[in-house]
Structure 1
């Protein structure tokens, strides 16, 4: 097996996770100043000079790692409080890149990809996955045939200025509505800090 191809992906997941854990440690230690400053700018914008559009590029918004971590922690905490700590929570940007992921105790392996796909589907379509299920019905090809998407309840869209910038996906509960409730708790935890 060629592990050299896996290394960049592992590192890409490890760095945001380390930041999430560091943020959690700051919160647990009572260092509210560090935590507040980390979350004060919840949305990072790839700002560019005014003439950037003329050069053929655009700016895009995404959650900060601290905000993504806060959403993931709140979603997992809701599931744990409901006796569903065996889920995985993924917070992804609009392109589906994982910004934060927390795998609950005893979460099955399939929950990792399911949570990421639910988060990506919500981010890409700008809607909660539970609201998108009707689009998967019909004869012939449907949106359910799009690679990397999962149209099961458990993904919520994160919006800034009415534009979808991220998604929170939860996978592993016996009922998608429970996944959805946990993802919604993650969104509620960061809603006040979104611009």
Structure 2
């Protein structure tokens, strides 16, 4: 019987590079965002807030990262998951920290989930674009 497992996580340098990459994309888009990066367990690894970014978007960004890390699913994909099942949608929306709005992406390296990135402050499309730019800046998937 095995007693231990080996788990990989996002390195702090990659987490910070991802946050910076997301902010640089936001600057190019002319928007102000909050961006959070967490490890696979949902533990915060990096956070950046642009001056003037919406205050409520701080926790939304954190929760988007947490949701993406926890499920290994883009937060934009939840609409497809629940489909027309209103009971499922209502039930999931009551779960603390579960966000079903675009802008949260799982972070993977070599096919293994190592964290999540969450962006909030723009439209769902802009948030997701910033998140993808953050992943690209760190050479992550």
Given the two structures, how large is their TM-score scaled by the length of structure 2? 0.88
| Structure 1 residue 106 corresponds to structure 2 residue 52 | yes
Match of 1:188 in 2: 136
Quote the Cα distance in structure 1 between the aligned partners of 2:29 and 2:86.
38
Distance across 2 between alignment mates of 1:188 and 1:152: 21
Q: Aligned match of 2:119 in 158, 162, 170?
A: 170
**1:15-68 CA-partner distances (Å, limit 9, x unpaired):** xxxxxxxxxxxxxxxxxxxxxxxxxxxxxxxxxxxxxx73x2322111111110
Aligned residue number for residue 33 of structure 1: none
**Which runs of structure 1 show a deviation greater than 3 angstroms over 4 or more consecutive aligned residues?**
141-145
User: How far has the Cα of 1:163 moved from its partner?
Assistant: 2.2
Query: Separation in 2 of the partners of 1:139 and 1:89?
Result: 30
C-alpha separation between the residues in 2 aligned to 1:77 and 1:161? Answer: 25
Q: Secondary structure of 2:115's partner? A: strand
Structure 1 146/136 Cα, relative in aligned 2: closer, same or farther at 3 Å?
Answer: farther
Distance between the aligned counterparts of 2:58 and 2:64, measured in 1? 10
User: Structure 2, unaligned stretches of length 5 or more?
Assistant: none
Taking the aligned partners of 1:126 and 1:68, their CA distance within structure 2 comes to 17
**Can you give the 5+ residue segments of structure 1 that lack an aligned partner in the other structure?**
1-52
Structure 1 residue 145: Cα displacement: 3.4
Higher helix share goes to which structure? Answer: 1
1:79 is aligned to 26
Mapped pair 1:148 → 2:97: yes
1:23-62 residue pairs with structure 2 within 5 A? 54=2, 56-62=3-9
State how far apart, in whole Å, the 1-side matches of 2:79 and 2:70 are.
14
Indicate the SS of the match to 1:108.
coil
Contact map agreement 1:91 1:169 (CA 8 A) in 2: yes
SS at 2:35's partner residue? strand
1:144 offset after TM fit, Å? 3.3
Distance (whole Å) between structure 2 residues aligned to residue 95 and residue 128 of structure 1: 16
The alignment's C-alpha RMSD in Å is 1.8
1:119-134 alignment runs, 5 A limit: 119-134=65-80
